[in-house]
Copies of this chain bind each other. A is one copy, B any other.
């Protein structure tokens, strides 16, 4: 009985994640939670039991992406020159964070609220970016006075605009390149 109950709970958990992935993917991260519960075939109370906040649901969905971004940073650090590693990671970052509409905004907000359910995941992302930045600075590829906060703010800015526009990958990469090399001449 306890076993059966746990299996049910696990199945509901799974269904909610699937439904949330579908709905967030189509309507963005501000979608109706009721709609997600409906799509999962579950009472609204059950959604709240499994995910007490919208952010906790979002967190469960993006944890994979965050871990992949961290692995990607390590991989790039080992296989590619520091400057190239940084720009490539930034491209991946923007692409990944644009997998759900509203996700860049959720990440930026979370980074400024230590009590957010998304905080830990996002902080891990920022650390990964900071390490790639430090390496690029050590070899003199990036000016030493740029901080990780500044880099992340600018990259988040690109992710935020990209989220709101029908931008293709080409334009996003162009914006990141401009951000790195600068507009002035």
Q: Which residues of A contact B (CB under 8 A)?
A: 83, 105, 108-109, 112, 140-144, 146, 150-151, 153-154, 156-158, 160-161, 164-167, 171, 174-175, 178-185
Contacts of A146 in B (CB 8 A): 178, 183
Contacts of A171 in B (CB 8 A): 150, 153
Taken together, the copies of this chain in the complex come to 2
The SS class assigned to the A binding surface is helix
Known: A154-B161, A154-B178, A160-B160; 18 extra A-B contacts, CB below 8 A, are A108-B164, A112-B165, A142-B183, A142-B185, A143-B183, A143-B184, A144-B185, A146-B183, A153-B161, A154-B157, A157-B161, A179-B179, A179-B182, A180-B182, A180-B183, A181-B182, A181-B184, A182-B183
